[in-house]
A and B are shown apart, each in its own frame.
Chain A
Amino acid sequence: MMTKKITRHIKTSGLAILLAASLNACKKDFLEIQPKGKVIAQATNDYNLMFNNGNILLNNMDVSIPLGDEVIAMDNYFSSAALPRTQRLFRYDDIVYDNGVQANEMLNMMNTLYIFNKIAAEVMSSTGGTDQQKKALLAEAKADRAFNNFWLINMFGKPYNPATAATDPGYPIVTAADVTETSFTRASVQEMYDFIVKDLTEAIPSLPVAISSRGRMGKAAAEVLLGKVYVFMGKYAEAKTQLDAAVTDLASTGSATTLTTVALYDYNVTLVPGGTWGYSTATATTFFSGMPTQAIHTEYICCRQLATSAWFTINSELVMSPQTTALFTSSDKRLNLFSTKPYLVNTAYPLAGAMRRNGPAGVQYGETIPDMYLLRAECRARLNDLTGAKADLEILRVKRMSAADATVPTTLTQLQMIQFVLNERLRENAMQGMRWWDMRRLSADPLFASATYTHQLYSATGTLSATYPLRPERLTMRFTQSVIDQNPGMQNNP
């Protein structure tokens, strides 16, 4: 009897314990656990930290490098280039990518655009931040989005021409972060530029002047960008207003840390043998890697960089043309970034003046101080403020060459001054892909529209072996076949 009671007791209590254990597992919050190291963005600070993304900072945007007219190719290296992409780009071929191959320059931009669109769409309803913080992050997302869209329209839309922009097919305006979206239509070039300008003008008032790191888009950077967009639209007065504001704001971006200090480097000190960057002529057959890395490079206002280009380290196929080399004065320290010798070869290229860029491995394509001054110099020249243009040019030139050579002649006409600025852009950015964007905008500029461009291939003995003229339709890249396949009805560029 007693035993029975005890047994029953054990039975009941045992059952109760087991049921309790199982009920615990049935609780609703049992499955609601926050995994460590992973987050679904909710707090305002989550959105803030989404900008701290190495993929925004460093990228693969090298498509324009082989396209510039300052580039020539040397045959013995060119034909053995590992990927057909280099040859096709250089030859201005219609089709650069085989079927099934994606264009990385488009994907890179779309990848980060997704992040900016996500922040723009969600940050205002995030939790824990002040309204001002949210607005600043929204503004930053819009400014970053404008940066990406500016690249995209310049790759896939025709150069901005006010007369035809409204009908020229551009690029889809994407504002939603949704990978299941399948329907996209190309906006016109005008619509895209309007959208870029709108994003930037809305963003600038809310953006902070002082930045936390140069990887983040602050007010000065957005102003430089808007100035640049206006220059590309041929609106030099509007551009100058933005660039003036940027020069002013630059003084207050913050100099407290190595991540925020902004200043021009004096190449006469840094980029000479025995200089602070450890430059040595021994790099003639290899490459120079002593320039400060992106995060601490003080000439960056907003850092966006091509991570490493094989063209400036181990490849020898693309070199600077003798005509471009001739634009440098001998005291120009920027020449120290070039070598007459192919990689790991002790004899010079067979063509006099052909120079291989041998460093730094990365390419700056974000907003920089030199670009800010060069853009303003061009605006001033365009607006016939030649003294102002000369002053802006000399701010940069004095940091790049001997003081004597740095002086810009006072005798230049307006057109000559504009040309001088364009040549200075070339000297500053040669072989870095910047020239291509200038070639595009100049094609729509009445002053330079008549210019034609031809790429030249030299044989192993230094004789001209082939030429590839740039046809107007190739100022615009074609979408890859898979993009067209996935967007039925979308018109590809011719």
Chain B
Amino acid sequence: MQLNALRVMRLTAFILLVSVLHVSAAGTSQTVTLTAKNASLEKVLGSVKAQTGYFFFYKPSQLKEAKPVTITAQNLPLDAFLKEVFHHQPLEYSIENQTIFIRAKTPGTAPAATDSLAAGPGAIHGRVRDSLTRPLEGATVRLLPGNAQTLTDKSGEFSIGDIKPGRYFLLVSFVGYETVRVPLQVKEGENTIAVVGMKRAVSSLDEITVFNNGYQTLSRERSAGSFSKADMSIVNNRSTSMNIVQRLDGLIPGLVLNNAPIASDINKPDPLTRSGILIRGLTTINAARAPLYVVDGIPQNDVSDVNPNDVQEVTVLKDAAAASIWGSRASNGVIVISTKKGNRNGPLKVEYDGFVNLQGKPQLDYLPFMNSRDFIQAMREQFADPAYLVANTYAGANAGFNGQVAIAPHERIFYNQARGLINAATANAQLDSLAAIDNRQQIKDIWYRNASLMNHTISVRGGTANYGIYGSFAYTNTLDNTPGNKSNTYKLNVRQDFTVSKNVSAYLITNLVNYVTGAARPAAVTNRFLPYQLFRDASGKSISMPWLYRTDSMTALYQTKSGINLDYNPLDEMGYGNTKGNNLRANITGGVTIKLIKGLRFEGVYGFIKGASKTTDYDAQNSYPVRNEVVQFTVASTTAGGLPTYYLPTTGGKLVTSNANQQNWTVRNQLVYDFTSGDGQHQVALLAGQEATEEVNNNNTSTVRGYSPQLLTSQPVDYVFLGTTGLTTPVYTSSITSSKLGNDAYLETEATYRTTSFYGNAAYTWKGKYTVNGSLRNDQSNLFGQDKSAQNKPIWSAGLSWQLGKEKWMLPVSWVSYLALRATYGLTGNQPRGSLATTYDILSAATSTSFAGGAGFLLSSYGNARLTWESTLTTNLGVDFMLLKGRLGGSLDYYLKKTSNLIGPMPANPFSGTASVTGNLGNMTNHGIEARISSVNVSGRHFGWNATFTLAWNKNKVTKLYVASTITSALTMLSTRYVEGYSSFAQYAYQFIGLDTLGDPWIRLADKTATKSPSAVLAKDLVYMGTYQPAVNGGLSNTFRFNNFQLTLNMVYNFAFMLKRDAPGLNANTVALAGRTSPNPGTFFGNMYEAFNDRWKKPGDEATTNIPSYVASGTLSTTRRTLGYYASGDINYFNAAYIKMRDVNLLYTLPRSILARIKTDAVTLRFTVSNFMLWKANKYGIDPEFHDAVAGTRVAPTGQHSISIGANIKF
């Protein structure tokens, strides 16, 4: 039945009309799309009514005189359409108040003969218009089949004569517009009229004809602000991530996505070190750095709930004009996301989009660790040094805290030999057998799996005259590289638009998201683990390795004392526990618009977010962590054969349940006034409103022991005794001196955050050329412990824009089709916020069994009455242009941001009670240039080539920083990232000279003398090595079209930053060049970099290597030399510039002939390969995206060279 209805609809559409309700943002006229041949006027009017919602008023008898209508119209404005239709009719019409009145033509009002269009029989006359009915000059019109071709003239008209009767297609194309294909029939002796409306192409050059700042939509010409829109055709086809922001990489000048591990958690930037998403550089040190996300008008902290398939458009606001709209939360920039709407009066459209992205396993070999043979050889060399066993005795190795001591299998052989337990031949044979084993294949097979991302979205659009609906359901399955991890996401999104009456419209967006996750208990194994230790024996049985925690004799002793098995088998362990998470979030947004009087309307936006997340961590009794904890709270029997005393349950596991509940709401009411004078000389847009928000987060965690998942019961624990007195002589202690169990039974935190804001902005445009913008906003919040006076700091902006291209004297310059200058200036700021920035002393509750009642207060924040706003003055100058009839377009921006009173930990006078307090610690500037240039290189019938280039250059400088005393310690300086006079994320290095005859590194000091003394170096002896945040970045997208194929190549580049290499001796990650190099208990470490073999081994080697010698005694090494002189030396910093092919997308769109046969509207097939390094400046093979800038270490790359296949089908 439904199918039938669908077919009828499709048939109607095919034969009679294809209708698209086109609501242009400026609220201008409705448009009509219609192909009719000798249709009755009544029928045509009916379809106009259906498409536009306009009513016709006429007497039925009047239409008897009407002539049949033949017309082909595409997106033609209603008025123009009606003019064409009534051109040859004995009738005329007028439009009043959405009603079209039809009456008989009065004599004398007959339209002038269309001489200009008159031609011989068998001709086509037509006009080409844009969506604002302006004539388009120079559009190419082709008649297919055949070779007839022409261009439109100044008034957008064209004519092609001498056409044989028959069916044809008109193919109308114009740079920057979607090519239109109009079917028509030419009859002998008849003029066929074609009026073609052209729509801007989505990826057109000046795609921003209107922009949405989340509050209002303005035409490009009427705003002075700096903003960019993403090319949604690229965003939609990037099937490598389900995060909308991640899909913007390289598309927006000034938006920097730093995927390096230190910065990469894009949703939760750590305030201190993360810089994953930055818009126009860093303007704060301690406040949040991420931009503000606005989804359908509601500010949100996180965009992971948004299905990229639902996104209609993304606008990034960058300057003060943005912040003064969105308030203090917007000083890092705003990303405005609006989602799709339903079609009014359209047929029901169903769309499917799906993809599978295959990412493979991480590149473990990227970490340059040794194989077994090399490793055993290196160990032989270590132990061969007589000093080794003196400095690293068996007794020392065999003792440790908490009963944990790891002696690796190869070490055991050496120690056994040294202790005379085995002879040299036996030891050698045992070592040889270890050297012959290679566990890398097992590591790769057992601890990793192929990662993939799969998404299916099905969406529906439709509507009636008064109602539109868009709905989508998405299922996302994420398989990461870790076996046992599960992640499924279900998203349901429905947007409904209602026209309640002529003056009232409303919408409701309901977005439900359910994340279901799971995890087992895999071990964290990489190639850093000892290369000979297998996980499975030849028979497939998993191998126990209790030596990872302690020696066999100690394991036996503790097992006897506690009566509890202390074996450790990593593979079996994997199934002994699990984590399950279920997170449900509902985002509900509603809005209403009420037209009050002419030009004035009321708008309300109401958002509500409710989130409930539950996570359970269960570790069974037989899991190692639970067994280990029980033993720590077990006292051995003092009598032989007696039973130990257990203070924790010995049956059942440990269950940790965490609940996170979130409830946010936003209420915004605003009045908007739009006025355009009759002559169009004056345009005014005013907006004023009030907004209130509340965010409540409640988290609680409970822990029970002795839990049985079958019976759902747990057992009691004596927290009072175990927390106060504790056990001083258990089998082994949990801390250095004793075993104590803090009260972890129940923990709860709750935070409420409220704001109320008033804002307004105004724009005035004169003659369509000169625009003045201004905005003002005041935010107040319930920032606890804040003085009210600290809150009253209005933020504002002012802007000017000049449509230079519209000036008369510019009109003759025919190669410039659009030119506008804009400037904004404004003040934005970060409110002192968070628990650390308060005007009053804040106490936080604490519990301690040391005090009566068990409760007390800690001083969690010192009041600082002098704390003031962090404020940024931003200047933005920009130019937008379109040249060569639209073949070259783009924009250029320069900005200067001066931030003063940076909020951060500021040195206080130590006599005041603290050495550091949150205060206003300094100033910072950012300036930079952003450019976007798009070009249409080839625009042919079969072949087209477009390119877009984005570039952002940012220069950041800390101009003032209050510090207690100048940093003089070299070690402190090495880890300092903010220094007056330098860019943020600064790095410093020693001036390495070379090695001496002991293989010790020497450096040059500031006074030109050389030293290797560990204590001789001061901060002034270090040299600045640049910043690890890329200062230049952007992207280059090339799109090639060949008939039904489209190939897009998206490149991203990052330049002008430095990284520290993972040099040997840097830390235990690479190799410690002194002392024992074995793993710590419980860690899968112990291997060393291959570069260990290239170290200094004997005098003379200093001529050929820079890698210091290995010294068996850690003490001797630290007293004699500092390995950091080499590892953190200037030679180990490298230019991290790189260019990556982020993705290559190949699209194939099925031809119409096939579509008609399979009864679909469009089918697009996608094939994507991602992340190919095209060029990198460093010679070490390091991928800067997978390098921890602070630690200087590598991370095994994931998701490189991934492949996606996807399809988009529209019904």
Please list the residues of chain A having a beta carbon within 8 angstroms of any beta carbon in chain B.
3, 7, 10-11, 14-15, 18-19, 21-22, 25-26, 30-41, 46, 49-55, 57, 76, 79-80, 84, 98-102, 106-107, 110-111, 113-115, 117-118, 172, 174, 177-182, 184, 212-213, 215-216, 257-260, 277-278, 280, 285-287, 289-296, 303, 308, 313-314, 344-346, 359-361, 481-483, 485-487
User: Is B967's beta carbon under 8 Å from chain A?
Assistant: yes
Complex CA gap A118/B843 in Å reads 12
Complex CA gap A118/B845 in Å reads 17
CB of A31 within 8 A of CB of B780, answer yes
- Name B635's closest neighbour in chain A (CB-CB): A278
CB of B751 within 8 A of CB of A22, answer no
CB of A38 within 8 A of CB of B784, answer yes
Complex CA gap A390/B602 in Å reads 92
Min Cβ gap A490→B in Å is 9
| Residues in B neighbouring A174, C-beta threshold 8 A | 911-913
CB of A212 within 8 A of CB of B851, answer yes
- Name B844's closest neighbour in chain A (CB-CB): A38
CB of A30 within 8 A of CB of B754, answer yes
Encode contact with A along B827-863: 1 for CB under 8 Å, 0 otherwise. Answer: 0000000010000111111101111110111111011
User: Is B965's beta carbon under 8 Å from chain A?
Assistant: yes
CB of A49 within 8 A of CB of B856, answer yes
8 Å CB contact of B856 from A52, A314, A346, A359: A52
Known: A49-B855, A110-B914, A285-B399. 16 other contacts (CB 8 A): A14-B504, A22-B692, A26-B692, A33-B754, A36-B749, A50-B843, A102-B915, A110-B910, A113-B913, A184-B912, A213-B851, A259-B852, A290-B728, A292-B725, A293-B725, A295-B724
Stretch at the interface among B611-619, B648-656, B731-739, B1028-1036: B731-739
| Residues in B neighbouring A257, C-beta threshold 8 A | 852
CB pairs A–B below 8 angstroms (8 shown): A7-B502, A21-B667, A50-B856, A54-B856, A79-B1119, A180-B917, A259-B851, A289-B736
User: Is B752's beta carbon under 8 Å from chain A?
Assistant: yes
Complex CA gap A113/B911 in Å reads 10
| Residues in A neighbouring B782, C-beta threshold 8 A | 30-33
Min Cβ gap B1006→A in Å is 15
Encode contact with A along B917-952: 1 for CB under 8 Å, 0 otherwise. Answer: 101000000000000000000000000000000000
Complex CA gap A110/B395 in Å reads 43
Encode contact with A along B534-559: 1 for CB under 8 Å, 0 otherwise. Answer: 00000000000000000000000000
8 Å CB contact of B857 from A21, A53, A79: A53
User: Is B968's beta carbon under 8 Å from chain A?
Assistant: yes
Question: Known: A15-B594, A482-B907. Contact between A179 and B863, CB under 8 A?
Answer: yes
Encode contact with A along B1067-1096: 1 for CB under 8 Å, 0 otherwise. Answer: 000000000000000000000000000000
Within B555-581, which residues are at the interface with A (CB < 8 Å)?
none
User: Is B690's beta carbon under 8 Å from chain A?
Assistant: yes
Complex CA gap A210/B851 in Å reads 14
Q: By CB atoms of chain A within 10 A, which of B724, B835, B866, B1118 has the most?
A: B724
Complex CA gap A15/B866 in Å reads 43
| Residues in B neighbouring A292, C-beta threshold 8 A | 725
| Residues in B neighbouring A21, C-beta threshold 8 A | 606, 667, 669
Complex CA gap A31/B785 in Å reads 12
8 Å CB contact of A98 from B502, B728, B969: B969
| Residues in B neighbouring A14, C-beta threshold 8 A | 504, 592, 594
Q: By CB atoms of chain A within 10 A, which of B752, B913, B966, B1015 has the most?
A: B913
The 5 closest A-B pairs by CB, nearest first: A52-B856, A114-B913, A25-B692, A289-B737, A295-B850
Min Cβ gap A1→B in Å is 14
User: Is B442's beta carbon under 8 Å from chain A?
Assistant: no
CB of A296 within 8 A of CB of B724, answer yes
| Residues in B neighbouring A287, C-beta threshold 8 A | 737
Complex CA gap A79/B915 in Å reads 30
| Residues in A neighbouring B860, C-beta threshold 8 A | 38
| Residues in B neighbouring A110, C-beta threshold 8 A | 910-914
Within B1028-1055, which residues are at the interface with A (CB < 8 Å)?
none
CB of B602 within 8 A of CB of A15, answer yes
8 Å CB contact of A80 from B503, B780, B1119: B1119
| Residues in A neighbouring B972, C-beta threshold 8 A | 100-101
A-B interface pairs (CB < 8 A), number: 270
| Residues in B neighbouring A35, C-beta threshold 8 A | 750-752, 784
| Residues in B neighbouring A41, C-beta threshold 8 A | 841, 843, 857
8 Å CB contact of B966 from A22, A99, A184, A487: A99
Complex CA gap A418/B1202 in Å reads 83
Min Cβ gap A207→B in Å is 16
CB of B395 within 8 A of CB of A80, answer no
8 Å CB contact of B912 from A11, A40, A51, A179: A179
Within B495-520, which residues are at the interface with A (CB < 8 Å)?
500-504
Complex CA gap A55/B785 in Å reads 22
User: Is B657's beta carbon under 8 Å from chain A?
Assistant: no
CB of B736 within 8 A of CB of A361, answer yes
| Residues in A neighbouring B843, C-beta threshold 8 A | 38-41, 46, 49-50
CB of B852 within 8 A of CB of A213, answer yes
User: Is B964's beta carbon under 8 Å from chain A?
Assistant: yes
CB of A361 within 8 A of CB of B851, answer no
| Residues in A neighbouring B956, C-beta threshold 8 A | none
CB of B692 within 8 A of CB of A361, answer no
Please list the residues of chain B having a beta carbon within 8 angstroms of any beta carbon in chain A.
395-396, 399, 500-504, 592, 594, 602, 604, 606, 667, 669, 690, 692, 724-726, 728-729, 733, 736-738, 749-752, 754, 756, 780-782, 784-785, 835, 840-846, 848-853, 855-860, 862-866, 907-915, 917, 919, 964-969, 972, 1015, 1115, 1118-1119
8 Å CB contact of B910 from A25, A285, A308, A483: A483
CB of A180 within 8 A of CB of B729, answer no
Min Cβ gap B20→A in Å is 28
Complex CA gap A11/B604 in Å reads 13
CB of A181 within 8 A of CB of B909, answer yes
Question: Known: A114-B859, A313-B736. Contact between A100 and B967, CB under 8 A?
Answer: yes
Question: Known: A38-B844, A295-B850. Contact between A101 and B969, CB under 8 A?
Answer: yes
| Residues in A neighbouring B917, C-beta threshold 8 A | 179-180
Min Cβ gap A297→B in Å is 11
| Residues in A neighbouring B504, C-beta threshold 8 A | 7, 10-11, 14
| Residues in A neighbouring B853, C-beta threshold 8 A | 52, 212
CB of A52 within 8 A of CB of B910, answer no
Min Cβ gap A253→B in Å is 13
| Residues in A neighbouring B692, C-beta threshold 8 A | 22, 25-26, 30
- Name B863's closest neighbour in chain A (CB-CB): A179
- Name B848's closest neighbour in chain A (CB-CB): A54
- Name A102's closest neighbour in chain B (CB-CB): B915
CB of A296 within 8 A of CB of B725, answer yes
CB of B856 within 8 A of CB of A31, answer no
Min Cβ gap A195→B in Å is 15
- Name A211's closest neighbour in chain B (CB-CB): B852
Q: By CB atoms of chain B within 10 A, which of A18, A174, A285 has the most?
A: A18
| Residues in B neighbouring A184, C-beta threshold 8 A | 909, 911-912
Complex CA gap A118/B750 in Å reads 27
CB of A486 within 8 A of CB of B910, answer yes
Complex CA gap A43/B737 in Å reads 39
| Residues in B neighbouring A15, C-beta threshold 8 A | 594, 602
| Residues in B neighbouring A313, C-beta threshold 8 A | 736-737
Min Cβ gap B761→A in Å is 18
- Name B970's closest neighbour in chain A (CB-CB): A98
Min Cβ gap B777→A in Å is 15
Min Cβ gap A296→B in Å is 6
| Residues in B neighbouring A107, C-beta threshold 8 A | 910, 914-915
CB of B395 within 8 A of CB of A345, answer yes
CB of A54 within 8 A of CB of B858, answer yes
Complex CA gap A308/B502 in Å reads 77
CB of A52 within 8 A of CB of B841, answer no
CB of A10 within 8 A of CB of B604, answer no
| Residues in B neighbouring A280, C-beta threshold 8 A | 729
Question: Known: A49-B857, A54-B858, A100-B969. Contact between A289 and B728, CB under 8 A?
Answer: yes
CB of A7 within 8 A of CB of B965, answer no
